[in-house]
Structure 1
Amino acid sequence: MELVNQQVAMREDRQLLVITHLSQYLDIITGFGGLVVPLILWLTQKESVVGMNEHGRSVINLQLSLILYIIMGFPLLILLGAGIFLWIFAGIVGMVMPIVNAVRANNGESPSYFGTIRFF
Structure 2
Amino acid sequence: MVQKALLNKQTMIDLLGNDYDSIQYFRLQFVEQSEAILPELLEYLESGCFDKLQLKAHFLKTSAKAVGAEMTADSLYQLELSANAQDPKTSAMIMDSLLLLHTELKAIILESSNRD
**What TM-score do the two structures reach when normalised by structure 2?**
0.47
Structure 1 or 2: larger helix share? 2
What's the TM-score, normalizing by structure 1? 0.46
